[in-house]
Structures are given as structure tokens and as C-alpha cells.
Amino acid sequence: MSNKGQELEQWGEGIISGRDRSPLAFVMRRILGVFAILFRFIAIFRVRNYRTGRSEQADFASMVVSVGNLTMGGTGKTPVVEKLSHELSQRGRKVAILSRGYKSKALKKPQEWPGITPDEAYDIMPKVVSDHEQNYLKPPYSGDEPYMLAKNLPGVAVLVGKDRVKSATFALNHLDTDTFVLDDGMQYLKLKHKFEIVLIDQNAPFGTEALIPRGTLREPPQHLRRADLIIITKCKEPTSDQLLARIRKYNPTAGLVQCRHEAVELENLFSGKREPLSYLDGKHVSAISGIAVPMHFENLLKKHGADILFHKSFPDHHNFVQKEIDRFMERSLRRDAKLVVTTEKDAVRFLKPTELDTPVYFLRIEIKILSGQEDWDRAMEIICGGEHKEPVDYSAERILQGL
């Protein structure tokens, strides 16, 4: 993204968040508020049309698990998708993750696949980042999260494409898949969800409380009633009774899990050498990231004793260029940083510096469940077919109530 693009994005964020108190920002919020009212009605009727059959929805016999959220970005979906997919795979399921592949490049030509001609590939093949045995695509073409998931999940297929019905059809016909994990799938309704997992960030549970484009909500908070399992992420402390009461007001029956994202180790980006988190203790560190909530990353480093000299943050999914990396590394050397640390997601897009004078590591993150382990285990049993999902839990019935 160009500097002008970054400035425009920051200006828009200032308007939406309310940080920008200028007269122009006030007028813009009023205008965007009118469009948000329109967006609310569109979101409600769109969901209703799919749930009542007015809009066509693909319904596969295989299990389809959606992992999503009500707000735009920043709830920590990827580590949850990784934990979910790993556990389902360990339980014997043949899992395929279906991702949109945000900001991934189009392939110059379709991938070759046994039994599929090049002409057919245009129509029926998604981008195959990995099948259940090997990885095929590099980050520019897969997207950063799909590449990271494929790298960390041997035995799990990762498919990328905006048309996730096409991705699912390919996985059924060519990868012998029996379980789909729909990454960021709550708003993708062309494929029927059999189990709905919705994530809520404890620090900003309903974003700015306003809908797009005035705020960061993709759907009204009442649509939380579609969830079969609600996961409160990034918990710094026990969730307040007020937030729990509000969640239960919207959805009294779903399972409820509270978790936090925990660092587990450091890995050298270029040598693969791994270090324990104690390696950070007392060291001068320079940090670089391009994620939705950079302060969460910085707080994790501080928690493990890092002395952060400076933290250069870019917009989410930022594509680093060589000049930015080299300038950052030169500054790190001048400040006498003992190591550079980035996020696992950013490591996918991090270019090798022209001069590698300071070692570069990324922080490996996993989900730790703090409460609700029983609800998580029950969800796994339902998804794997070992426990009956009572009709009262069906999201299709809940969404039609009170809309």
C-alpha cells in the first residue's frame, strides 16, 4: 500500500473510531450513519432470505463448520481455525480449510491436477495451497494466513478462492474431504453451515457498536443468535458479568468458551532455529508488524521480558517492500537491538534484508482455553458426529426468531 493509501486508511479509521474530532469527521460520521441504517436492513434480509430458502444455498452432506465474527478483523480467527482443524484431524476427520485468500495474487495459469484438463481447471479448481499431503503455493498466491495454516497443519488441506462452494466441490471430488472449516465464514451464506462458531474479542466485543460503513460491525449484534459456539478471545481477565449477560441476551443456548492467545516459542525466520520465550527476557528488541491490533503483539513481547526499543506497525495484511525492511533493519542496528521480532503472520511476507546484521525471529502463537473446555469438547463431538445436536441449538431456528 502506498503512503497516500495508508494515510487515507488511517483517516477513515479515525472517523469510524471517533478519534478524529474535526468538523469534517463529524459530518462524515453523520453521512455514514445514514448508510449504516440501510446496511442494517440489507444484512437482516440477506440472512433471512438464505435461512428461509429464498436465496439459493449449497447444502453438502459433509460437515461444514464456520469460524467467523460479527466485526471487521482483529478477533484472532487464524489461531482458532488452526486449533480446530488440528483437533478434528487428530480425531480422524479429513479436513479442508476453505479461505478467501485475502490479498492473494491470481495464478498466471491454473494448477495442474490429475484428471483435470487445463480448460476444466479454470472452471472447477480453486487455488490448492495444500492437499492432505504436501504444500503447493507460496505466500503471494496463497495469502498469508492460508500459507501459515498449510505450513502448520500437515494432513489438512487448505484451499483458496472467493467461490467457496467451488472449493468445497473440488475437495469432495478430488481430496476425499469429509469436514470443511470455513475460515471467516459467518457472512458467507452461499454454503450452508452445519455448525457456527462466532468469535468475540473481549477488548472490543461489538467493535464500535455501529454497522459498516459508520462502524466496524458486519451484522447487528442480535445475529449472535446464529452461533452454536461462542468463543471470547484475547481475554486479559475474567469476562465481565455485563458482557456475559449481553451475550446470553442474544444467545442463551450456545456453548461459551473463553481463551487467550499465548506465545509458545520463537523461531528464527531464516535459519529455523527455535528458542524458548525466556530468550526474550532482558533483551533489547525491535518489533515490526502488519496486523489489525499491533498492541496485542507488543504486550505479548513485554509479558515475556522484552525491552522494546521501538515497534514499527503497518496496516493489516501489509505487503512489505525491500526498502521498508532494509530501513527498519538499519534503524534496529543503530539502536543496538539484539533481535528483531515479528508476528507469525507477518513472517510469511517478511523479505530477507539486504544486510542481515540482526537476527529476525517470529513469535509462535497458540490458543489457550481458560474456561468452557466442556463446551469446546462437546462441539468437537457434535462436529465429529459423536453427539446429537438438539433442535433447540440449530442456528436456522434461532435466526428466524425476533428478526
**pLDDT exceeds 70 at position 45:** yes
Residues 6+ apart with CB under 8 A from 293: 74, 201, 203, 234
**For residue range 149-201, what is the model confidence (pLDDT) as tens digits?**
999 999 999 999 999 999 999 999 999 999 999 999 999 999 999 999 999 99
What is the band of 17 on the pLDDT scale with cuts at 50, 70, 90?
confident
> Against a cut of 0.85, is the pTM above it?
yes
Q: Specify the DSSP class assigned to residue 125.
A: -
Residue type at 24?
A: L
Q: Give the model's pLDDT for residue 301.
A: 96
What is the band of 3 on the pLDDT scale with cuts at 50, 70, 90?
low
| 226-249 per-residue burial string, b: 16 or more CB within 10 A, e: under 16 | bbbbbbbbbbeeebeeeeeeebee
Report the percentage of the chain scoring pLDDT > 70.
Answer: 94
Q: CATH class for domain 63-253+372-399?
A: alpha beta
Q: What is the β-pairing status of strands 360-371 and 339-343? A: parallel
Q: Supply angle C-alpha 16, 21, 23, rounded to 5.
A: 105
Measured CA to CA, the distance from residue 163 to residue 56 in angstroms comes to 14
**pLDDT exceeds 70 at position 306:** yes
**For residue range 329-379, what is the model confidence (pLDDT) as tens digits?**
999 999 999 999 999 999 999 999 999 999 999 999 999 999 999 999 999
Domain regions of the chain by residue span: 3-51, 63-253+372-399, 262-365
Least confident of 42-51, 79-88, 291-300: 291-300
**For residue range 73-98, what is the model confidence (pLDDT) as tens digits?**
778 999 999 999 999 999 999 999 99
Q: What is the mean pLDDT of residues 197-217?
A: 95
Most confident of 11-20, 40-49, 310-319: 40-49
Task: Name the more confident of 44 and 393.
Answer: 44
Q: Give the model's pLDDT for residue 402.
A: 38
Measured CA to CA, the distance from residue 376 to residue 263 in angstroms comes to 21
Residues 6+ apart with CB under 8 A from 197: 65, 66, 67, 68, 80, 84, 227, 228, 229, 230, 231, 379
Task: Name the more confident of 397 and 60.
Answer: 60
Contact status, residue 150 vs residue 129, Cβ threshold 8 Å: yes
**For residue range 236-250, what is the model confidence (pLDDT) as tens digits?**
999 999 999 999 999
**pLDDT exceeds 60 at position 115:** yes
Query: Quick one: fold of 262-365?
Result: Rossmann fold (3.40.50)
213 upstream amide cis, omega within 30 of 0: yes
What is the band of 387 on the pLDDT scale with cuts at 50, 70, 90?
low
**For residue range 129-156, what is the model confidence (pLDDT) as tens digits?**
999 999 999 988 999 999 999 999 999 9
Q: What is the mean pLDDT of residues 20-38?
A: 93
Mean pLDDT across the chain: 92
Quickly tell me which residue has 478524529 as its cell.
20
Count CB-CB contacts under 10 A for residue 403.
14
**pLDDT exceeds 60 at position 397:** no
Least confident of 18-22, 126-130, 225-229, 312-316: 18-22
Same-fold call for 63-253+372-399 versus 262-365? yes
**pLDDT exceeds 90 at position 401:** no
